[in-house]
Amino acid sequence: MAREDEMEIDGYQGNETTLPHEFNLNYLKLYYGKLFPHSDLFKWMSYGNDGKHPGCDPSYLSRREFSYTLDNDIYVRFQSFHNAAELENSIKDKCPFKIDIGPVYSVDPSKRHAYAQSGDNVFTPVERELIFDIDISDYDDVRYCCSGADVCLNCWPLMTIAIKVIDTALRDDFGFKHILWVFSGRRGVHCWVCDGKARKLTNEQRSSIADYFRVYKGNENSYKKVSLTGHVLHPFLAGAYSEVLKEFFETKLLTSQNLLSSEERFEKILEMIPDQSATAELRGKWQENRRSSSAKDDINVVRWEQLKQLLQSGKYKAQRLHRCVEEIVFSFTYPRLDMEVSKHMNHLLKAPFCVHPKTGRVCVPINPNHCEEFDPTIVPTLSQLLEELNREGFTADVDGEWNKTSLGSAIRLFRSLFLQPLLEACKKDIETSYNAKLKQSKDLHSW
């Protein structure tokens, strides 16, 4: 039986370490030794508590769980580190195929057994980023170009839409500022919300935020996967529909996936219409291939316009028919979150700048302001980076040698867009909290 510190981590797939030819320990050792941004990971995970300010919590980093997936499917959980050197040396020594980050616990997770033997139930997660995990494979029922973990430029925009919708709501509706989006290295994206108030959310509060985004409620056997309740859309959903989803569906997804080009495909959409008379009329038109426009017009666009015109004409009075067009668009385009990952504080999530064992691609950050420009097919691979480094020649650059490679732009983006603003805010929070405690102490003593 595996020891507790070698348990399978959350979300791990059993064949995760079936490696591409370019992925081996020697390559990883060079990557961790020359390119991996150890200091950036340490600064991020410390949240300003690595300084000399009296308000810093020196135990903060040592209470954070790190988990490794090693060669031969060995999982090592509840690793902890006291300083940057310990973290870096451990990564270089263990050379993990994957690094996952867990919560900050009430005590050092590597010493949890000692606290358990004492009889005190004190080993519990107390802080964790609000995280979101979105996989392209969850959209397999609405994409025809790829399936499973495969992805191409025709279906990847579904991830772009997810970033746009979720990022906007997190900032505008919840007031979060320090949000990191990361390419998973293979089939999806991860989101880390790192504001102090986000890290301190309870499981109940996390569940409430996750449920705020819940629209996709069907399963693989459901014809109708989205139900939009109420006389009018919630302002968040209305904004997502008008500003992102509708245009993407009509200008890209319809044609790139040929959603109405065949009977098999248009039947899937007709099943979402709650009026048999309306579906029969549309089916009759499409089966006879009657087209009111010239042959040069795309059949998907023509049939979609026919569907909209009929459903919005008022000819059929079935209940909820007026929302059917919106529900179809939401069914095909709205973000599909792994809800459980977001709801619970103790979930693990892959660290940025890991190398995905299946693809060899690095988990690089994505700029949400320009996410439509992100191309997952050209993200640097491990072998590509080492070839670039080899061409430039190895040196003893104290800041690492990533700047000589195509990884440089990703690390610079991570620092400028996310890490530097985050650390500035953390230092202000530490100073404010410290001063408040001083004032409180003085007020107490004044009595």
DSSP string of 172-195, one letter each residue: HTT----EEEEE-SSSEEEEEE--
Nearest to 329 by CA among 216, 245, 426: 245
- Overall residue count recorded for the chain in this entry: 447
First to last CA, the chain: 60
Q: Which of 50, 88, 129, 133 is catalytic?
A: 133
375 classed as catalytic: no
pLDDT at 51: 87
Write down all domains in the chain, each with its CATH number in brackets.
4-212+338-436 (3.90.920.10), 235-333 (no CATH)
**Rg of the chain in Å (alpha carbons):** 25
Active-site hit among 127, 129, 135, 388 = 135
Q: How far apart, in whole angstroms, are the C-alpha atoms of residue 68 and residue 93?
A: 12
Catalytic option among 65, 100, 327, 401:
65
Output the pLDDT for position 400: 66
Q: Which distant-in-sequence residues (6+ apart) come within 8 Å of 204 by Cβ?
A: none
What's residue 225's pLDDT?
67
The pair of structure tokens assigned to 141 is: 């029922």
286 and 263 Cβ atoms separated by less than 8 Å: yes
DSSP string, 63-130: GEEEEEEEGGGEEEEEE--SSHHHHHHHHHHH--SEEEEEEEESS-GGGHHHHHHTT-----EEE--E
Q: Which helix (H) or strand (E) holds 366?
A: strand 365-366
* pLDDT score recorded for residue 20: 52
Structure confidence at residue 319 (pLDDT):
65
Q: Is position 138 annotated as part of the catalytic site?
A: no
Question: What is the per-residue pLDDT for 121?
Answer: 65
How high is the mean pLDDT in each 10-residue block of the chain (447 residues)?
35 38 80 95 97 92 96 92 96 96 95 72 90 96 92 95 98 98 96 98 97 74 64 91 96 95 94 93 86 67 95 80 90 94 95 94 98 96 92 66 92 98 96 87 64
CA atoms within 13 Å, Cβ hemisphere of 150: 7
Active site residue 65: yes
Instruction: Determine contact, residues 88/38, Cβ cutoff 8 Å.
Output: yes
